[in-house]
Amino acid sequence: MALIRDMMPGFDLFQPRSIDTALDLLNRDDSWAMAGGLDSFDWFKDRIKRPSVVVDLGAIDELRGVRDHDGGLEIGALTSLTEVVQHPEIAARYRLLTMAAAAVATPQIRNQGTLGGNVAQDTRCWYYRGGWPCYRAGGNICYADTPTAINREHCIFGADRCVAVNPSDTAPALIALDAKMVIRNSNRERVLDAEEFFIGPGTDITRMTVLERGDLLTAIRLPATWSGVRFYFEKTRDRQAWDFPLVNVASALRVRNGSIEQARVVVNAVAPYPLRLKKVEEQLRGQVLSEELAEAAGEVAVQGAVLLEHNRYKVPMMRNLVRRAIRDGRV
């Protein structure tokens, strides 16, 4: 295992004031984009990541703030989680994101951490973060998927050599809201559904998002279509502050006269990517909202789970979270 050192390795630090300048810098070999720095500094202090160029995005004002966009809202990727939590229009129209952002870590970390950083952060698997030469780090083994492994926080769905999970709290809320991710590089801008922003190890085992060298997540757009519906978010964790999720759930239900017209249900920390439960959504569509329906949906949600030695508890935990997400949502 890698040793924790007293000093970070040296690098050239750049603090651009425009997106275009940042993109030019990010095209350099061995560059690293840093938002709030919470994930980045962990990597640097443990000397696992050693970029030669660090691009601090903190001085780019156009990456911050909440603004109207096409009937919905656009949130700059560098907007702090605290601002997301406290913004009155997000709370009034997209309370699901407010709840998810408020569940991240501690107030101090939310003051520094950004929405873009929370969705773009790397996995927290301790073998990978500790410098073990696993599949994700370029080796030929998953240390978390061995008979003697410590794997209580690892995945029960979507494993493909690597069993690490996505740790974001805001990611499932953004997928449930059908958010759009705005990505720029020096050649073009593209807009992806939030669900498409996250990738699994079967696509690229070295990344958790579509972002490649030279790409920059600049904004997240919330469409008007899911504004003000019935929302639910819950996160289970070992401690009530700071900890990453063991399982979390986000749901958005459009209910009319007691019947569910549309549903989006997403869980995280159970797969290498936020997992949208499309079978559950299909089961809910057109049905009368009831305790029995919620119970049945919870059973459907956990079908096909593949368990490791120490993460079996995630099945009943996920089942119950999905049940509550359907039964207890509020406008």
**251-293 tens-digit pLDDT:** 999 999 999 999 999 999 999 999 999 999 999 999 999 999 9
pLDDT of 3 = 55
Residue 123 corresponds to which tokens in the numbers above?
A: 């996995």
CATH number, domain containing residue 38:
3.30.43.10
Q: How far apart are CA 286 and CA 234, in angstroms?
A: 24
Is 234 inside a domain boundary?
Answer: no
pLDDT of 52 = 95
Which residues make Cβ contacts (< 8 Å) with residue 65, sequence separation at least 6? 75, 76, 79
C-beta atoms surrounding 196 within 10 Å: 12
pLDDT of 80 = 98
CA separation (Å) from 130 to 29, 109, 242, 305? 24, 22, 19, 27
Is 96 inside a domain boundary?
Answer: no
Closest-CA residue to 174 (of 285, 99, 67, 256): 99
Is 26 inside a domain boundary?
Answer: yes
CB-CB contact of 155 with 183 (8 Å): no
Amino acid occupying residue 177: L
Is 39 inside a domain boundary?
Answer: yes
SS in 3 state form for the chain?
A: CCCCCCCCCCCEEECCCCHHHHHHHHCCCCEEEECCCHHHHHHHHCCCCCCCEEEEHHHCHHHCCEEEECCEEEEECCCEHHHHHHCHHHHHHCHHHHHHHHCCCCHHHHHHCEHHHHHHCCCCCHHHHCCCCCCCCCCCCCCCCCCCCCCCCCCCCCCECECCCCCCCHHHHHHHCCCEEEEECCCCEEEEEHHHHECCCCCCCCCCECCCCCCEEEEEEECHHHCCCEEEEEEECCCCCCCCCCEEEEEEEEEECCEEEEEEEEEECCCCCCEECHHHHHHHCCCECCHHHHHHHHHHHCCCCCCCCCCCCHHHHHHHHHHHHHHCCEC
CA trace torsion 169, 172, 174, 179 (10° rounding): 150
Is 53 inside a domain boundary?
Answer: yes
pLDDT of 298 = 98
- The edge-to-edge listing of strands for the beta sheet with 31-34 is 12-14, 53-56, 31-34
Intervals of the chain under pLDDT 70: 1-6
Segment 17-39, tens digit of pLDDT:
999 999 999 999 999 999 999 99
C-beta atoms surrounding 194 within 10 Å: 25
Residue 239 corresponds to which tokens in the numbers above?
A: 């401690």
The domain containing residue 43 runs over which residues?
12-59
Pairing of strands 53-56, 12-14: parallel
Q: How far apart are CA 158 and CA 278, in angstroms?
A: 14
Pairing of strands 216-222, 230-236: unpaired
pLDDT of 325 = 98
pLDDT of 47 = 83
Is 93 inside a domain boundary?
Answer: no
pLDDT of 5 = 56
The domain tally of the chain equals 1
Pairing of strands 31-34, 53-56: parallel
